Structure 1
Amino acid sequence: MFVLVNLKAYPCDPVEVATAAHEVSESSDADVAIAPQAAAIETVAETGVETWAQHVSPNEHGSHTGSTLAEATAEAGATGTLLNHSENRLKLADIDGSLDAAERVDFDTVVCANNAEQVAAAAALGPDAVAVEPPELIGTGTPVSQADPDIVRDAVDAAAAVDESVDVYCGAGISTGEDVVAAEELGADGVLLASGVAKADDPQAALEDLVDPL
């Protein structure tokens, strides 16, 4: 089971969370990765944890002020990237461009989507994975697998109908081991979460609780 922790712009210690994630990943059956702010990618990667960028821009080297260049994040130690998170929505053409940028540096990719229809559209662009995340549940502590399990089932079916090689992750409201197990039972290959770990007083304990039932 893949667990991707998005640190967003929360006021946490990214190295502390990354160190905990690396230890939990090494001692469990889960593969835990961290997506910190771009400025923290290098120090997070130095912990040995699998490190992802929160975004890469759909452009190459050149006059692109304010962009997040895929090559720069790769040089800092990232090996994957999130795209189209509900807090950083992209046009379809830009998602496609960002996937091309990620491919240049051999990144793993996950494209976020709100529902099964968007999952299908995202899967058609050829990412490694799609993550279904109803935006109204993000940060609520109520997982989509509990609020509406059919959203996850439909997302799994939608992705498979387009490209069976595209994994499906379950996001929004994931915070406990029960949530992770429920997502797995609904057909998800991984989970995407944020506040349940990034805001925890003890990130390692929170991560251990997440993966313990697996």
Structure 2
Amino acid sequence: MFVLVNLKAYPADPVSVAEAAATVDGTAGVDVAVAPQAADIARVAQTGAETWAQHVSPVSHGSHTGSTLAESVAANGAVGTLINHSERRLTLADIDDSIAAADRAGLETVVCANTPEQIAAVAALGPDAVAVEPPELIGTGTPVSQADPEIVEDAVTAAEAVDPAVDVYCGAGISTGEDLVAAEELGADGVLLASGVAKADDPQTALEDLVGQY
């Protein structure tokens, strides 16, 4: 089971969270990675935690002020990137170009989408994984696996019909080991979570509880 902790722009200490993730990684068969702000990627990677970017721009080297260059996040230690998170939406063409940019830089890719229909569309672009995230559940503490289990099952079916090699994750409201079990039972290969760890008073305890209940 894969767990990607998205720190978003929360006032979390990215190094502390990364150190906790590195400690918990591999426990109970759960692989834990962290997606910090782009400016924090290098120091997060230095902790030994698996480090992901929150976004890469659909561009290559050139005149693209303000863009997040895939080659740059890779050079600073990221091994993968989220694309098209609900809080950083892209057009389908830009998703395709961001995947291409990530591929050039050797980054793994997880493309987020809201519905099984969107999951099918982005799975056709050839990412390593897709993640279904109903935006109305993000940050609510109500896991998608409980609020709308059918959307996870339908997302798994949709991705498999397009490309069985594409993994399927689920996000929105994930915070406990029970949520991990539920996601796995619905066919997901991993989860995305954020506030349950990033906003925790003790991120390591939160991660240990997460894995300990799995």
Identify the residue that residue 144 of structure 1 maps to in structure 2: 144
Q: Output one character per residue of 1:32-88: Cα deviation in whole Å (capped at 9) or x when no partner.
A: 000000000000000000000000011111110000001110111000000000000
1:188 aligns with 2:178: no
The Cα shift of 1:209 comes to 1.3
Residue 147 of structure 2 aligns with an amino acid whose one-letter code is A
Identify the residue that residue 41 of structure 1 maps to in structure 2: 41
Q: SS at the partner of 1:130?
A: strand
The Cα shift of 1:120 comes to 0.3
The Cα shift of 1:213 comes to 3.0
Query: Are the equivalent residues in 1 in contact too, given 2:27–2:211 (CA < 8 A)?
Result: no
- Where structure 1 has 5 or more consecutive residues not aligned to the other structure, the ranges are none
Over the matched positions of the two proteins, sequence identity in percent amounts to 77
**Considering only aligned residues, what root-mean-square deviation do their CA atoms show, in Å?**
0.7
Q: SS at the partner of 1:93?
A: helix
Identify the residue that residue 63 of structure 1 maps to in structure 2: 63
Q: SS at the partner of 2:131?
A: strand
In 1, Cα distance between equivalents of 2:168 and 2:212? 21
Query: Are the equivalent residues in 1 in contact too, given 2:79–2:107 (CA < 8 A)?
Result: yes
Identify the residue that residue 202 of structure 1 maps to in structure 2: 202
Identify the residue that residue 95 of structure 2 maps to in structure 1: 95
Query: Are the equivalent residues in 1 in contact too, given 2:176–2:213 (CA < 8 A)?
Result: no
Identify the residue that residue 52 of structure 2 maps to in structure 1: 52
The Cα shift of 1:111 comes to 0.2
In 2, Cα distance between equivalents of 1:190 and 1:129? 9
Q: 1:146 to 1:27 in 2, by over 3 A?
A: closer
Q: Which runs of 4+ in 1 moved over 3 A?
A: none
TM-score, length-scaled by structure 2: 0.99
Q: SS at the partner of 1:169?
A: strand
Q: How many residues were matched structurally?
A: 214
In 2, Cα distance between equivalents of 1:113 and 1:93? 14
In 2, Cα distance between equivalents of 1:69 and 1:190? 26
Q: SS at the partner of 1:126?
A: coil
In 2, Cα distance between equivalents of 1:181 and 1:203? 20
TM-score, length-scaled by structure 1: 0.99
